Amino acid sequence: MNREMSEAVSRLKIEHITRYRYTAPVSFGLHRLVLRPREGHRTTVVSHKLRLWPQASLTWMTDVFGNHIAFAEFLEHSDEMTVINEVIMDLLDPETDEGAASMPRPSTVTLPVSYLQSEKAVVEAYAVPVYPDELEQVRQWTEQVLSTHPTSTAMEAVQTINTAIHRLITYRRREEPGVQSPGATLALSSGSCRDMATLGMEAVRSLGLAARFVSGYVESTASAAGRGSTHAWLEAYLPDSGWCGFDPTSGRATGLRHIPLGVSSHPRGVMPVSGTYDGSNGRSTGLSVSLTISRSGPGGVFSADNLCPA
């Protein structure tokens, strides 16, 4: 790597610890881990290490969405299960010549979007609503939002939806598993990042656009202090720009501070840690999560306004 390139790269060190505790030793079923970051033309995974307690046998696969999935078969009983995810990543500054060449052109696609024939079978699968019974409610809400904020392109329409969710839905951290339906989020006017991303995904799909759910990390003040947690956002597919990320929690497009772990057509497809345990001898007493992201190299060079992080 030459001097100019080395100055254009920042290195992230990520440590994500998930710990489950039980009242007595339990046996664990197969666990599915979506914890290896997805790479892109400006992001590279330099090293990735998964450490588990109790001991477990790991096997890997790549799923239909291109996610790297680890399956853990635990070898011992325990009253605690700990998953430590350690990652080192290099991020290329998009302001360099090399990075600028990889930035998408400003999207000029208008609604309704027409996809290439060669892509239709795939994008149509990403346009199917997860909550079909609430499609009409979501469509009416989306139309109301867009009627008060006229847009000229599909990209502007998606960003308008993204901003509206940030403005109208109050963020509320929920410890319960799963997501609220879009109708529940609209009725309550509150939700977690998962709930807001799901509402955004379904709203974008109501326009006939392909959209997907994203689970990952965000480099932030909290994560720098070791108080971060996993995050969720959505991506919309535009024929002239590809998959572009939008974060309803912040109301902004995603950038290189967003680090995707997995993408899916359904929110349940990318839970970072999922599995079962035999609770006949003990019950769960809680879950704790810590996330620390530290950076070396040039600081403050990446803007959260960059549209397509991968």
Q: What is the pLDDT of residues 64-80, one digit of tens each?
A: 999 999 999 999 999 99
Q: What is the pLDDT of residue 93?
A: 73
Phi, psi of 212 (to 5 degrees): -145, 160
Structure tokens given for 296: 């070396």
Q: What is the pLDDT of residue 2?
A: 45
3-95+271-295 shares its CATH topology with 101-269: no
Stretch 183-193: mean pLDDT: 97
Query: Which of 96, 35, 97 is closest to 67 using CA atoms?
Result: 35
Q: What is the pLDDT of residues 3-59, one digit of tens each?
A: 444 457 899 999 999 999 999 999 999 999 999 999 998 899 999 999 999 999 999
Q: What is the pLDDT of residues 162-181, one digit of tens each?
A: 999 999 999 998 877 789 99
- The architecture in CATH of the region 3-95+271-295 reads Sandwich (2.60)
CB 164 within 8 A of CB 196: no
Q: Given pLDDT bands bounded at 50, 70 and 90, which one contains residue 248? A: very high
Average model confidence (pLDDT) across the chain = 90
Fold classification of 101-269 is C8orf32 fold (3.10.620)
Tell me the DSSP string of 73-95.
EE-S-EEEEEEEEEEEEEEE-TT
Stretch 150-163: mean pLDDT: 96
Stretch 179-203: mean pLDDT: 97
Phi, psi of 306 (to 5 degrees): -60, 130
Angstrom distance (rounded) from CA 307 to CA 246: 8
Q: Which amino acid is at 103?
A: M
CB 214 within 8 A of CB 127: no
Q: Where are the domains of the chain?
A: 3-95+271-295, 101-269
More confident residue, 232 or 296: 232
φ/ψ bin of 120: left (φ > 0), alpha (ψ from -120 to 50), beta (otherwise): alpha
Q: Of all helices (H) and strands (E), which one includes residue 239?
A: none
- Outline where the chain has alpha helix (H): 3-7, 97-100, 120-125, 135-148, 154-168, 182-188, 193-205, 221-224
Buried b (16+ CB within 10 A) or exposed e, 251-275: ebbbbbbbbbbbbbbebebbbbbeb
CB 207 within 8 A of CB 147: no
Query: Which of 206, 200, 169 is closest to 186 using CA atoms?
Result: 169
Angstrom distance (rounded) from CA 163 to CA 138: 16
Q: Given pLDDT bands bounded at 50, 70 and 90, which one contains residue 298? A: low
Could you tell me the pTM of the whole model? Answer: 0.90
Stretch 214-223: mean pLDDT: 93
Q: What is the pLDDT of residue 94?
A: 61
